[in-house]
Amino acid sequence: MGGGDRQSFEFTILAILEYLVRQEAIGPVTKYHLMNRVPGLPSQRQDRVSTILDLLVQRKWISEEPKDDTVAYVITKDGKLEYDKWVKQFLAWVRTLRTFGDNAAKS
């Protein structure tokens, strides 16, 4: 990934959800924190990340909490469930690739 590479909308959502799930113990994090700590996000436009954060809040996958004169974000139970669903779907897809490769080798 080069410095100016943009990631897909879906990648950005998944990256934010994954970060918030993995970092849940540190508590709510600001958009600035996300923009600087989540791999792939520093190359995204801030307005695009703001739009995605707003969407995640609307879907109740993350919630907003006040923090030091700004807004911070934390994963919700629904957000964790959605993240788990996405990961399971991805792993199932990867397994089909492996199965396809195994079947092709036997032919």
Instruction: Show the domain range for 56.
Output: 9-106
69 φ/ψ sector (left φ>0, alpha ψ -120 to 50, else beta): left
In a domain, 67, yes or no: yes
Evaluate whether residue 95 is within a structural domain: yes
Rounded mean pLDDT for each run of 10 residues along the chain, 107 residues in total? 66 92 92 91 88 97 93 96 90 80 57
The verdict on residue 3 lying in a domain is no
SS3 state at 103: helix
pLDDT at 79: 95
Q: What is the pTM assigned to this prediction?
A: 0.79
Identify whether 79 is part of a domain.
Answer: yes
Total number of domains constituting the chain: 1
pLDDT of residue 50: 94
- What's the CATH code of the domain at 75? 1.10.10.10
